[in-house]
């Protein structure tokens, strides 16, 4: 069954009984209103003077109570009559009108029980009439009965209509619930969906619109999953390629550096020093490329680092370069371990870039100091140099890792990829990185972060 047909049938199954019940309810309410109006009209007509006149001269014909134009048609049950006709009776049910209808004994009993001024429904010869007790205990005008039978109400009283209404509502729920359940199940499946896995909806072989939607969602999710898997595989392949390439280059570059170092000891010349500088640069580039690839792949490893070891390794790595450039490099680390959370490769690379810049862009006879200290629950790692330094503008530009400048492509300028990587590492590891001109020239690069 299609969804459209199901919705139509459910609407009919629930709506039609509800409409009928409401129609009956409306009629009942109108009837109740008619009763009140009838009571008011009759009581108004049979004033004490009218009752006295009735007792003095009991009517022999139906009593007509004129209806004001405003009230005509107000008696829905009696049509558009211009007057309301009633029979009058005494308390025993006897009437002075020859054609008066005989009152059933139960009706007399009921009207006597009820309060004055409140009419009761009376069935006479299968037809409904209203019987009202007038405010006179004796005499021929103690009761008044509608001469014209009333039509309605059709159906039971309002309170008895609650049951069919409830049934209509239940029919609606039963009809629509399977649809809601299926829509909810699809919604849950979509919300929980992990791109790397299938959607998790059972294969729906039905023929209605929801089944079509379920199949369309499942197919779309499968396409998405395959594309996602392909993307992940491509990223993994790229990362592996970069790792393998850097790995393959690392050992021959180490051999090259060793040969150059031996050559420098034997023949110290500008050419050899230049070659050593380029080899150092290649090594740094290799490290920076590998780290950049890991940024893209979100391949950060968080572990507890003793920053003293990081400082020692990095400074030792750069002693050779510092020596052949005529720059003095020293480091200061605390006696006790100074622990922080971070990725070892990222952290070393960041510090290496700072030390590399401080050393490479210094002058012969210059100094580089790497100082690691603890301050107020944080570690402070500073790289100070007395080289040419940077202007405040250059410091700010270097800190924007997401806007690689043209300087990144010309390694002769300070900044570029190295400082961008430092800024990115600091951002990833929730550290703070600052570059400020030194008080008496040079540059101070500072990394700060919480200790563990």
Partner 1 sequence: MGVVLLIEDDEALGRQVVDQLEAAGFSTVWWRRGRLIDAADYREIVLVILDLMLPGVPGLDILAQLRKDSDVPVLVLSARQDSNDKVQALKLGADDYVTKPFWPEELIERVRARLRRFVIDRSSQVKRGGLLIDGGKREVTVDGKSLELTRAELDLLLALAHRVGEPVSRRWLLANVLDPEKEATERTLDVHVSRLRKKLGDSTVIETIWGIGYRLRKEAE
Contact residues: partner 1, CB under 8 A: 243, 246-247, 250-259, 261-262, 279-280, 282-283, 286-287, 290-291, 294, 300-301, 303, 309, 312-313, 316-317, 319-321, 323, 328, 330-335, 343-346, 348, 367-369, 371, 373, 384-386
Work out how close the CB of 449 gets to partner 1 at its nearest, in angstroms, rounded to a whole number.
17
Can you name the residues that pair with 382 across neighbouring β-strands?
371, 446
- Give the distance, in angstroms, between the CA of residue 322 and the centroid of all CA atoms in the same chain: 58
Task: List alpha helices for 46-126, DSSP H.
Answer: 48-56, 105-113
Task: Please report how close the Cβ of residue 173 comes to partner 1 at its closest, in angstroms.
Answer: 57
Would you say 57 or 255 has its CB closer to partner 1? 255
Tokens 């563990």, residue located: 452
Strand partners, 87: 145
**Cβ 271 to partner 1 shortest distance, Å:** 18
CB of 319 to partner 1, least distance (A): 6
User: Cα–Cα distance between 345 and 296 in angstroms, integer?
Assistant: 15
Q: Report the nearest approach of partner 1 to the CB of residue 345 (Å).
A: 4
> Toward partner 1, which CB reaches closer, 373 or 396?
373
Q: Are 251 and 235 in contact (CB under 8 A)?
A: no
Tell me the closest approach of the beta carbon of residue 230 to partner 1, in angstroms. 24
Of 332 and 410, nearer to partner 1 (C-beta) is 332
CB of 353 to partner 1, least distance (A): 14
Which alpha helices (H) appear in 267-388, and where do they start and end? 270-296, 307-325, 344-360
CB closer to partner 1 out of 41 and 372? 372
Please return the burial class of 258, using the count of CB atoms within 10 Å of its CB with bins 0-12, 13-18 and 19+.
exposed
Q: Which is nearer to partner 1, 284 or 395 (CB)?
A: 284
Nearest to 88 by CA among 12, 140, 162, 11: 140
Question: Which C-beta is closer to partner 1: that of 126 or that of 252?
Answer: 252
Regarding beta strands 339-342 and 432-437, do their DSSP bridges make them parallel or antiparallel, or are they unpaired? unpaired
Give min distance, CB of 174 to partner 1, in A. 58
Least distance in angstroms from the C-beta of 211 to partner 1: 47
Which residue, 207 or 303, has its beta carbon nearer to partner 1?
Answer: 303
Find the shortest distance in angstroms from Cβ 283 to partner 1: 4
Cβ-contact 135, 45 below 8 angstroms: no
Identity of the residue, 303 or 391, whose beta carbon is nearer to partner 1 in the bound complex: 303
Q: How far is the CB of 326 from partner 1 (least distance, A)?
A: 14
Beta carbons of 260 and 278 less than 8 angstroms apart = no
Contact status, residue 217 vs residue 183, Cβ threshold 8 Å: no
CB 444 within 8 A of CB 438: yes
Give Cβ neighbours of residue 310 (< 8 Å, ≥ 6 apart). Answer: 344, 347, 348, 351
Of 60, 54, 30, the residue nearest 42 (C-alpha): 54
Contact 390, 437 (CB under 8 A): yes
Residue among 93 and 342 whose Cβ is closer to partner 1: 342
Q: Which is nearer to partner 1, 39 or 312 (CB)?
A: 312
Alpha-carbon distance 287 to 195, whole Å? 32
Cβ nearer to partner 1, comparing 90 with 348: 348
What span, in angstroms and rounded, lies between the C-alpha atoms of 31 and 18? 20
**CA distances, 48 to each of 88, 114, 285, 368 (Å):** 15, 21, 118, 122
Q: Cis (ω within 30 of 0) for the bond into 50? A: no
Strand-pair category, 328-332 with 303-306: unpaired
The token duo for 24 is 């009956």
């Amino acid at each position: 069954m299609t969804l459209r047909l199901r919705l139509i049938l459910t609407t009919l199954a629930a709506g039609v009984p509800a409409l009928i019940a409401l129609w009956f309810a409306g009629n009942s309410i109108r009837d109740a209103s008619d009763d009140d109006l009838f009571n008011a009209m009759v009581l108004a007509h049979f004033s004490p003077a009218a009752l006295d006149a009735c007792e003095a001269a009991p009517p022999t014909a139906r009593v007509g109570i004129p209806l004001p134009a405003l009230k005509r048609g107000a008696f829905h049950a009696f049509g558009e009559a211009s007057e309301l006709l009633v029979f009058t009776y005494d308390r025993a049910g006897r009437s002075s009108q020859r054609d008066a209808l005989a009152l059933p004994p139960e009706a007399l009993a009921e009207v006597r029980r009820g309060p004055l001024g409140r009419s009761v429904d009376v069935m006479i010869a299968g037809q409904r009439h209203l019987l009202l007790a007038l405010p006179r205990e004796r005499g021929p005008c103690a009761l008044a009965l509608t001469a014209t039978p009333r039509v309605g109400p059709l159906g039971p009283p309002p309170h008895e209509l609650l049951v069919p209404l409830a049934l209509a509502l239940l029919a609606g729920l039963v009809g629509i619930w399977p649809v809601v359940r299926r829509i909810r199940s699809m919604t849950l499946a979509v919300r929980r969906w992990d791109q790397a896995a299938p959607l998790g909806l059972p294969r729906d072989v039905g023929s209605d619109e929801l089944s079509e939607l379920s199949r369309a969602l499942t197919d779309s999710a499968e396409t998405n999953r395959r594309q996602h898997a392909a993307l992940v595989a491509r990223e993994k392949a790229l990362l592996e390629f970069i790792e393998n390439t850097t790995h393959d280059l690392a050992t021959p570059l180490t051999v090259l550096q060793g040969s150059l170092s031996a050559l420098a000891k034997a023949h110290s010349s500008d050419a050899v020093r230049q070659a050593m500088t380029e080899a150092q640069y290649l090594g740094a580039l290799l490290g920076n490329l590998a780290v950049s690839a890991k940024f893209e792949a979100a391949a950060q490893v968080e572990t507890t680092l003793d920053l003293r070891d990081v400082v020692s390794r990095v400074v030792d790595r750069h002693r050779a370069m510092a020596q052949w450039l005529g720059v003095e490099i020293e480091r200061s680390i605390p006696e006790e371990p100074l622990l922080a959370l971070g990725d070892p490769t990222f952290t070393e690379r960041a510090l290496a870039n700072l030390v590399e810049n401080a050393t490479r862009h210094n002058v012969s006879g210059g100094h580089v100091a790497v100082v690691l200290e603890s301050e107020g629950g944080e570690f402070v790692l500073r790289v100070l140099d007395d080289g040419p330094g940077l202007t405040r503008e250059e410091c700010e530009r270097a800190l924007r890792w997401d806007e690689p400048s043209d300087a990144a492509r010309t390694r002769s300028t300070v900044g570029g990829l190295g400082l961008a990587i430092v800024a990115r590492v600091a951002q990833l590891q929730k550290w703070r990185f600052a570059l400020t001109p030194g008080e008496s020239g040079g540059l101070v690069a500072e990394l700060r972060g919480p200790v563990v």
